[in-house]
Structure 1
């Protein structure tokens, strides 16, 4: 039987936005075009835009609705009054009989298809001006879950129509310049996925803060997905590197962070409310919602959807706890980062250093300063002054009018895919999300500065701190003969610089990942019986969600390395083995028990000497396991391993043997092993070291220290520490010449070329193969390198 007001998902596609709105058109497109490739979408049907317009015409309420909008434009009525009056007009009306009949019949047909007598469905709103490339309308209209039976279904459908005129929806259309009466609403009625028995969340097919296009970011929480979107729960976060998804055997999960997940949304047992919030158990809080196979499956689906649509996408997913199956339940275009240039970006930086008072997830890359306005209830919106920094627990779409007027936003709860994060990005307002205690720590009117300029970690400072903004056009940068690379230490900031035309990562420091992400001494993870109870407790907290403390170390280190390697793949990423000094290792959780006290740690038990020593051999085995995981399991075969502070060729032999014992054999699976050239013996005996290693990288800090006999940490001798000293430059020139004679590459990863343009010119004149720079000096120094090459 032909239907006038209802269309099945399999009969509609993305071209049908005028018929069924963006959300339903996209669902139909996925069912029709992507189902055969394995992307699973719950089946269902949609009412048409014509159904909405016929409803307005036959109910006779449109003239009264137009009068309410006229009064709002004439400032005769507030936004709240306008929305309330229009919604009351809609809710006081009834559907035409023909529309009622078609909805009932389609619902019964859907139940018969699925073999269920009284089917539970999700009833979703889909506006005809929704999910466009330049307007997301995220959360503007309502969704109703766990709807059963004709009466409840028709009531939910009427409420969907009314939600086209919520305060937030009216405000958003006003901001975007949409004619309120040119927009119609379609209703999607969809098989209900029992996410209440499992979990759900959001996927972006792009890094939402940096715009890095080669990752899919997945958020996950227990139960229904609304708390993830609202930001009232701190979800798990998983990041998948899309280019490696098709590599046989690769499992390119480059981040797995276990969120607090303190609450979850379930269906209500009875009563008018359809859902309820409950606290999660301690075991659920410490467990990951998705296993690795499920993360990879969602990553593949995200890549497939993005490829089909030809643009970055914002997806919602759910897992059915009865069947164990994953589903995509929504797809719309990502509207913020995908619209930005790939060849230019704004770089914000603080002019002075300060100590943060709060940290959270960064949204955007900007810095904002102003007075805090603490708002706990959206009813207090009227007291929010323009240009203040909004401080609240979390936001939902009702907060949008206030968020538009804020210089910055800080929340207690939420993750990168929460409502606060999504809307902040779209509005271009920097935000620090999920600080846990902003509303209790910050005072009304307190002057604060929030910074999202350091990657994924956002920070809040007390007081107004000066900052600056630079417009960087990487499309105008010159090409160079010298391979110009970047030094990256923090995985959280790895994606921030992806637009730079770097030819790989010249130095990724393993100890930064251990210090900032792992936080515990590897030997303490392996031997908890040797440490105190408080350190045991702290390790228990750190390692929740992992099979063992050793697995925690390996997984966290491997994914941190992978994240550093990802932005410039397939160019090489040179990863230096851990080079903590004993006093630095002792500061890790449980570390003091395992580290000797040394008078001069800078020249003590560090670098290569640790790896084959019985005091650290087991810890080194964990480092090797992590490197094998990142190369062989995650799939980053472009990772090169570098040995630091290797004093003699005999010591090099022992380290290479220890690596081989742990499955890292030079030349096997194309593994290259480099050596830091940072000790005078490395230069003097360069020919012998070159027989053992595939390349050298000059560490100018330690080499300067040891050539000049100047402690690089000594304030009293700071004026004598100069990498441009003739003796140091002589050693560097000799190292370059000997490496070339041995036919192995040599680069530099020390700070000198980042700090001194004339030093970069010297390196070019000596024909060094690569120069690795700090990202913030890349633009300036690559121009110096190009000019020096032109002058040769």
Structure 2
């Protein structure tokens, strides 16, 4: 039984937003448009804005509501006093009998479809101005889970109406300029998905921190969804690369396990009028396990892409797994409202220009920096005198905290992830936030000066003291095109997506050893020969890192592969050159378990490094893990644009041994389009360039090592620093010869050393010599790209330069 005030979801579509709000209209749209294509959405019904207005009229709420809001605007009544009084008006009312009967009838019809006399339902509020492209009211009104029975349903609907006037909702509407009396509320009633026995999460069809559009970001935690939305748990995180969905077996580029210390479940012993949910601690098994396997992650990502394609815009979705059936469902779909407003070619880059002690770290929300005195707040009752411009440091936030967050310079929380309330509101308000630090409230002193940096990648940091920083406004549309390919050097998967807007021609150098050092952390030989690790602390740390892996070597392969895949994602399908590990023996020794496998060397810079390790029995099994990781990146995750580069290859015979070793592990040059480059960084590489060119598909000049070896200067020697200069004539002659020989052999040659980033005149020299590509550090890309373009124009116009070879 339906009418203008109660409507089945499957009869709704986006044209019905004025009647039932964006959330309910979107659920109807999903059921109608995508239900037949495999996207599962629980059925149900919605009360309309007409039902809300009828309720207001039948209970005489309108006049008194206007008086209360007017008193608040004039300053005669405080926010809490006003909100409480307005909510009491709604809670004390009753539905008109005809509306109440239609709600009961729709509930009985839902029970008939599900085969249950009194089905459990989720009752969700939806303001009719909610989820507009430039504003999101999501999470401000109440949701009631596991509601059973007709009278309990009517009470939940009343409470939804009252939640239209929570303190945070009143504040937000005033912030956005919405007329309180013009906003109505629709209630969505859906069949309850037994996430209390399963899981819940949130998805975005872009990266919410950087705006990178080619990923689906999925969060997941055990139990009902309030813990994720409120940020009281640290969920798992999965990132899927959209362009390879359907083209590669498993294009998952990140899989991060969250702590998931608690979950919300159904409370069967609760009184009928009380919330029928409760928080419980998760088990050790639940904390150690990932909530989703790859098959479920990919299914959710495909649904997210279908929804995004249907709506033609980035989307914010909620999903749940029914633990009794194992089925996945979409629960909500609404427009993403923060990154959608940012341009693709104009952005502000923040640069931290000082350093200090790091007090806490967590997930970075946003990409800016702020500083101010800390205000450690442990309860919402303590926020009345929160000073404007202070850094809010607290355990977690919920929608009642919005008024104080508006006054904060930055937000730091102990708990929560990128989809927590603190994260969502901070994005909306443009605040930097570091969430899920674990211990910020314990380590930060009230009043202590802090610098909160979210400009260093996915990990945000809270520094002691006020550090200098600057903001650079960049218009990428004004960058000139260049004849020389301009690429970027990348190292940290945490920061990989930050620079996606740069108009780079690919990655000239992705440093594998950085991923090993920062993420894998363990010496690969310690994973294949664990019995040789004698240090007890190292053994414990290895056990912690490899927990859940039957084969410790698989930990290395999976972790390295995901890190490299994330480095490659922003640049697909352009080439991404990944250099095989190039640690020196002293650097390898500092990895967990590394001391058992590395011998002290007088000069590690010229010792057992690069190509010489890969076929040597001392490291050969570790190199096999590197090859397995690269195969997984290319063949399983799907980044066939990854090029493998061999560093520090001393002789053509050594090149043959390395290539044979790679082929034995499935990385055969030419197979599946695999290209193999060589670092040109040893004088023998230039002298015998013709022979090396016959074995490799391209060269990349490593100017640091080449300068060191041509001039005989230890690049780490402080006393000789003045002599170390890649612009020295001896070095530039070697580089010019390498470029000439590579072109004569018909292979490309680029440069990935630090020189072009540090010295614009060196970059000019390279352009004049006709180098094919220059790979720059991201933070110097913009200024050096302009210099390269100017050089190219000047060379096209006639002779002359600032530097001779």
TM-score if structure 2 supplies the norm length?
0.97
> Which whole-Å CA distance do the structure 2 matches of 1:717 and 1:753 have between them?
21
Q: Residue 604 of structure 1 corresponds to which residue in structure 2?
A: 607
Residue 437 in structure 1 maps to residue 423 in structure 2: no
User: Alignment partner for residue 742 of structure 2, among 725, 739, 743?
Assistant: 739
Q: CA deviation at 1:642?
A: 0.3
Contact 2:611–2:648 (CA under 8 A) maintained in structure 1: yes
Counterpart in 2 of 1:119?
A: 119
1:583-732 aligned at under 5 Å gives the runs: 583-732=586-735
User: For 1:418 and 1:104, how far apart are their aligned partners in 2?
Assistant: 34
Unaligned runs of 5+ in 2: 796-805
2:256: which partner in 1? 257
Q: Is the 8 A contact 1:312 1:334 kept in 2?
A: yes
Matches of 1:544 and 1:167 in 2, distance apart? 45
Q: Distance in 1 between matches of 2:151 and 2:532?
A: 65
Following TM superposition, by how much is the alpha carbon of 1:547 offset from its aligned partner in structure 2, in angstroms?
Answer: 4.2
2:528 — aligned with what?
526
Q: Supply the distance in 1 between the matched residues of 2:784 and 2:651 (Cα, whole angstroms).
A: 34
Match of 2:785 in 1: 782
SS in 1 for 2:662: helix
Question: Residue deviations 1:134-170, cap 9 Å, x none?
Answer: 1111211000001111121111111111110111111
CA–CA separation in structure 2 for the residues paired with 1:143 and 1:211: 29
Give the whole-Å Cα distance in 2 for the aligned partners of 1:587 and 1:280: 35
Q: CA deviation at 1:2?
A: 4.6
**1:204-353 correspondence runs (5 A):** 204-247=204-247, 249-271=248-270, 272-353=274-355
Residues 2 and 102, structure 2, Cα contact 8 Å, conserved in 1? no
| 1:177 equivalent in alignment to 2:177 | yes
Distance (Å, rounded) in 2 between the aligned partners of 1:600 and 1:608: 17
Q: Which SS does the other structure have where 1:342 is aligned?
A: coil
Q: Distance in 1 between matches of 2:125 and 2:725?
A: 66
Q: CA shift at 1:37, angstroms? A: 1.7
Q: CA deviation at 1:545?
A: 4.0
Retained in 2: the 8 A contact 1:628–1:664?
yes
Q: Is the 8 A contact 2:359 2:444 kept in 1?
A: no
In structure 1, what is the Cα distance between the partners aligned to 2:423 and 2:792?
A: 45
Partner residue in 2 for 1:110: 110
Q: Deviations over 1:674-704 (max 9, x none)?
A: 0000001110110000011000000000000
- Could you tell me how far apart the structure 2 residues matched to 1:444 and 1:558 are? 42
> Contact 1:263–1:277 at 8 Å: present in 2 too?
yes
Distance in 1 separating the partners of 2:355 and 2:713:
27
Task: Look up the match of 2:74.
Answer: 74
Shift of 1:776: 0.7
1:62 paired residue number: 62
Q: Distance in 2 between matches of 1:214 and 1:471?
A: 24
Alpha-carbon offset, residue 633 of structure 1: 0.6
Q: Any conservation in 1 of the 2:390–2:410 contact (CA below 8 Å)?
A: yes
CA change 1:170–1:353 in 2 (3 A) is: same
Give 1:27's aligned residue: 27
Verify the 8 A CA contact 1:209 1:363 in the aligned structure 2.
Answer: yes
Q: What is the DSSP-based 3-state SS (H/G/I as helix, E as strand, rest coil) of the residue aligned with 1:495?
A: helix
- Counterpart check, 1:50 vs 2:53: no
Q: Secondary structure at the match of 1:358?
A: strand
CA distances 1:539-593 after superposition (whole Å, capped 9, x unpaired): 2221234443222111111111111111111100000000011111111111110
- 2: CA distance, partners of 1:599 / 1:789: 44
Match of 2:378 among 376, 379, 388: 376
User: Which residue number in structure 2 is paired with residue 757 of structure 1?
Assistant: 760
| Pair 42,545 (structure 1): closer, same or farther in 2 beyond 3 Å | farther
Deviations 1:354-400 (A, max 9, x none): 33221111111110011000011111121211110000001010000
* Distance (Å, rounded) in 1 between the aligned partners of 2:328 and 2:33: 18
User: Deviations for 1:501-523, whole angstroms, at most 9, x for unmatched residues?
Assistant: 00000000000100111111111
Secondary structure of the equivalent of 1:459?
A: strand
2:570 to 567, 570, 583: 567
Offset of 1:322 from its aligned partner?
1.0
- Tell me if the contact between 1:509 and 1:577 (Cα under 8 Å) persists in the aligned partners: yes
For 2:491 and 2:630, locate their aligned partners in 1 and report how far apart those are by CA, in whole Å: 16
Count of aligned positions: 791
Following superposition, which runs of at least 4 residues in structure 1 exceed 6 angstroms of deviation? none
SS of the residue aligned with 2:162?
A: helix
Per-residue displacement from partner, 1:154-199 (whole Å, max 9, x unpaired)?
1111111111011111111011111111111111000111111111
Q: CA deviation at 1:40?
A: 1.0
Report the alpha carbon displacement of residue 339 of structure 1 after superposing the two structures with TM: 0.6
- 1:287–1:544 Cα contact (<8 Å) kept: no
Contact 1:59–1:94 (Cα < 8 Å) also in 2: yes
SS of residue in 2 equivalent to 1:134: coil
Identify which of 484, 487, 490 aligns with 1:485: 487
Gapped runs of 5+ residues in structure 1?
A: none
Does the CA contact (< 8 Å) of 1:409 and 1:429 recur in 2?
Answer: yes
- The 1-side partners of 2:288 and 2:607 are apart by 39
Aligned partner of residue 383 in structure 1, secondary structure: coil
2:201 maps to 201
Q: Partners of 2:483 and 2:147 in 1: how far apart?
A: 65
The question of whether the paired residues in 2 share the 8 Å contact of 1:645 and 1:678 is answered with yes
Task: Provide closer, same or farther for how the CA distance between residues 494 and 533 of structure 1 changes in structure 2, counting only shifts above 3 A.
Answer: same
Other-structure match for 2:389: 387
Residues 400-442 of structure 1 show CA distances to partners (whole Å, capped at 9, x for unaligned) of 0000110011000111111100100000011111111100000
Q: What residue number does 1:501 align with?
A: 503
Paired with 2:504 and 2:249, the residues of 1 have a C-alpha distance of: 25
Counterpart residue number, 1:142: 142
Give 3-state SS (helix, strand or coil) of 1:716's partner: helix
